[in-house]
Amino acid sequence: MNLSKIVIAIDGYSACGKSTTAKEVAKILGYRYIDSGAMYRAVTLYFLDHHVALTNPKEIHRALQQINISFKINAKGITETFLNGLSVEEEIRQMRVSEQVSPVSAIKEVREAMVAQQRKLGKERGIVMDGRDIGTVVFPQAELKLFMTADMMVRAFRRQREWLDQDRLVDLDDVVENIKKRDLIDTTRAESPLRQAEDAVVIDTTHITIDEQVDEVVRMAFSKIVSMRKTTR
Ligand code: DC
């Protein structure tokens, strides 16, 4: 095993800064970043575009066999999500997908397919993966597990600003509504609900900046790598 390559699992509620932190940490450590939420979003987009009935297991099974999700780093160094060979990075962030992604990701068969793919992607280690069940289900052996949380209004403001940066005007009440709905479904679903792993470190991002979040995680990762080196000497 290459000791300088650990698995970092970042879980937590929607819009707490998980992916921004994960991307930056991966860049600093020279690790691969995998956005597991983007995979559930890509499945949701496919289901919407192909009118897959969420209550029909046969249709779901058939659809999942038609779906191929991959990631590529574009010329700007940004990771883009591809669905069956086409970049869907922008489409999967739209409200119509955000509104349906939690019910879709609560489906057992969808989760099984995504978890299998996520484990494959993490085989080579040296990855930072963010999501809802990474430290609990996908990589229960991850060397570093983080659980991110933040005040609801701070999360909603941040998400609204992200959309504004892309010239998309979204009402704050709609953002709050969407986040609340997703939190509820994500934490109460039967299949691997969002919960904090026992050995996860909690990071509350309400009063800290992205830079502070990133510094903290990088510091924890280095300290983990150093302590692992010491124990194998
Ligand atoms: O991280 P995100 O907001 O893009 O995730 C979108 C949805 O996908 C989220 O509401 C719940 C689901 N999800 C999940 O169930 N498990 C994961 N590992 C990642 C995301």
Answer whether residue 127 shows pLDDT above 80. Answer: yes
pLDDT band for 7, please (50, 70, 90 cuts): very high
Answer whether residue 2 shows pLDDT above 80. Answer: no
* Nearest Cα residue to 221 out of 146, 109, 122, 132: 146
Length of the chain counted residue by residue: 233
Nearest-CA residue for atom 15 of ligand 1: 105
Answer whether residue 49 shows pLDDT above 70. Answer: yes
Positive or negative torsion for Cα 159, 160, 166, 170:
positive
* Nearest Cα residue to 102 out of 176, 195, 189, 12: 189
CA 118 to ligand 1: nearest atom: 18
Rounded to the nearest angstrom, the distance between the alpha carbon of 230 and the centre of ligand 1 is: 36
Domain spans in the chain, listed from the N-terminal domain onward: 7-225
CATH 3.40.50.300 given to domain 7-225: yes
Mean pLDDT, rounded, for 27-40: 95
Q: What is the pLDDT of residue 89?
A: 95
Q: What is the pLDDT of residue 106?
A: 93
The Cα–Cα gap between 15 and 20 comes to: 10
Residue pLDDT, tens place only, 201-212: 999 999 999 999
Distance, C-alpha 72 to centroid of its chain: 16
| Residues at CB less than 6 angstroms from ligand 1 | 14, 36-37, 40-41, 101-102, 105, 131-134, 182, 186
Determine the 3-state secondary structure of 123 from DSSP: coil
Q: What is the pLDDT of residue 233?
A: 66
Between 41 and 76, the higher pLDDT residue: 41
Nearest-CA residue for atom 5 of ligand 1: 37
Choose which residue among 7, 10, 36, 184 to substitute to test ligand 1 binding: the one with the highest number of ligand atoms within 8 A of its C-beta.
36
Mean pLDDT, rounded, for 35-64: 97
